[in-house]
Amino acid sequence: MPKKKTVKRHSVRADLRVKELTKAGTSLHLEIYASKEKIGTLIIGSGSLFWFGKRRQIRKRIPWSRFAEMMDRLAYPNG
């Protein structure tokens, strides 16, 4: 049986800004693309993460505990 060729649909560009790991302003910026079109930016810091949607100018702050709840609901919908 021939192997099915997979098409790379998503890509991520990263920018790590580290002053000191425990200091404010330290973050990882991820620009997320689907089919070569930017779909958003995720900024990960020590206290929370921020999401900028595709054509959004205002970021949405998500505390880590809230993010964990959201991921648990998405990853484990029945339990």
pLDDT at 8: 76
Q: Looking at the 3D structure of the chain, how many domains does it have?
A: 1
SS3 assignment, position 13: strand
SS3 assignment, position 17: strand
Q: Quick one: pLDDT band at residue 47, thresholds 50, 70, 90?
A: confident
Structural domain of residue 23, as residue ranges? 10-75
Q: What are phi and psi of 69, to 5 degrees?
A: -60, -45
In a domain, 25, yes or no: yes
In a domain, 69, yes or no: yes
In a domain, 52, yes or no: yes
Q: Quick one: pLDDT band at residue 20, thresholds 50, 70, 90?
A: low
Contact status, residue 29 vs residue 15, Cβ threshold 8 Å: yes
Q: Quick one: pLDDT band at residue 25, thresholds 50, 70, 90?
A: low
Q: What is the mean pLDDT of residues 2-31?
A: 77
